[in-house]
Amino acid sequence: MTSAVVFDLDGVLLDSEQVWNEAKEDLVRERGGRWRDEAPQRMMGMSSPEWSAYLRDELGVDLEPDEISDAVVGRLEQIYRERLPLLDGALEAVERLAERWPLGLASSSNREIIDLVLELSGLAPRFEVTLSSEEVARGKPAPDVYLEVARRLAAEPATCVAIEDSANGIKAARAAGMAVIALPNPHYPPGDEELAGADMRIDSLHELTTELVVRAQARRPSSSR
């Protein structure tokens, strides 16, 4: 039986993965670093300390990690205040599921970005728990952020359903023992192997109904509950 639903943010509620990567690439080039084509995939799911260190150590940005994080977050905040790139159906999906279950948010975004997005969208009251992976030991694909959200919701992970878009996000939620509904990111789609780890797949948030959540939970093997 489902006790809670946990959303990812980027790629699930926001069409934002490419916005993050453009901000990071601009910073790398401005600071004389070396951008790599594989960088977006390498950084997906990383917490802000992890990707900031990657930009410094691997891509050659001549700033300390906290300065890198602040610079990228500042760019994102400006963009979001001008136009928040909510995915079609995001508001309705959250409202729909919040009527039945407590909701959590498990995101790789910085805390400042999470709070800003929820404020601008008006969705803050719908989430009982929000957590950034910078607030736990490890980013996705490690399960830390999902496990901590479940703990704060007072819910067993095996009774939670996660909504994820990326390969590392699916891995993280699965490693936490949650059922997973995949909404594949069109810009950085998960591979077939990762998608096979999801219990259900949708192509639009309009498909994310309470009935679908119940079906996803029912597909989990009884041994994992």
Burial 64-96 (b: 16+ CB within 10 A, else e): ebeebbbbbbebbeebbeeebebbeebbebbeb
How far is Cα 106 from Cα 37, in angstroms, rounded to an integer? 27
- What separation in angstroms does the CA of 6 have from each of 72, 90, 94, 98, 214? 26, 14, 10, 11, 14
Q: Could you confirm whether 192 is annotated as catalytic?
A: no
How far is Cα 179 from Cα 184, in angstroms, rounded to an integer? 16
Ramachandran region, residue 13 (left: φ > 0; alpha: ψ -120 to 50; beta: rest) = alpha
Question: In this structure, is the dihedral angle defined by the CA atoms of residues 186, 190, 195 and 198, taken in order, positive or negative?
Answer: negative
Active-site residue (options: 10, 15, 144, 165): 10
Q: Could you confirm whether 57 is annotated as catalytic?
A: no
Q: Which of 164, 131, 163, 134 is nearest to 148 (CA)?
A: 131
Vertex 74: Cα angle to 90 and 165 (nearest 5): 30
Q: Which residues are catalytic?
A: 8, 10
